[in-house]
Amino acid sequence: MNFSKNQIATAIAILFHSIGLIGILFFNSAFIINATSFNLLLSFALILYTQKQKNKYFYFFIFTTAIAGIFVEVIGVNTALLFGEYVYGNVLGVKLNNVPLIIGINWIIIIYCCGVSMQTVMLKVINSIALQSGHPPRAVKALSVIIDGATLAVFFDWIMEPVAIKLGYWQWNADEIPVYNYICWFIISALLLTIFHFGNFNKKNKFAIHLLLIQLMFFLLLRTFL
């Protein structure tokens, strides 16, 4: 029996997220929590593995998102001008100016998966509209991928935030997560999704959608039961 890249990558992602979920919920495993960086690197590697027709535009998006992600976090942590007043713990590994380098990978995963998911949804909607009107609304597609994708990224962050705090990924100086954090997330995500949308590379990747769903379920279960 031959398995597709999507099936292999999805099975690996489910396996490692399941191990992480069980280890955290039932064994309170410090080893599992400290392996978060490995899990992010593995997820990123699986994205590269399943991405079709990788070209210079794809790598430009990857590089730009990673650098921009680290850059805005450095500003946020050191000045509080973005996101709010917060600090990173030591769980996520090596830091640059108080920001774990792995955060750049995290930004890539979130933006890429949200972008691919919205691109897939809108492609079906636009094809349906085009059949009826004969004119594919490209402007609507662009706005939807960027705006709806950014909204999806904010929703993901909202699900993840309480879990990240409990696991020691980062801590807010205030007693609650500021609304300003989500405003910044939306604006920055929209800018990065603009690069994603207009980048001339293949955006059909079923695994990216599966990974987003797996991670959402992972953090939702931890948020509920941790």
48-99 pLDDT, tens per residue?
Answer: 999 999 999 999 999 999 999 999 999 999 999 999 999 999 999 999 999 9
pTM recorded for the entire structure: 0.95
Mean of the per-residue pLDDT values of the chain? 94
Overall number of domains in the chain:
1
CA atoms within 13 A on the CB side of 216: 15
Percent of the chain with pLDDT over 90: 85
In the chain, the amino acid numbered 32 is I
Residue-range definition of the domain harbouring residue 97 = 5-225
**Span 18-53, pLDDT tens digits:** 999 999 999 988 999 999 999 999 999 999 999 999
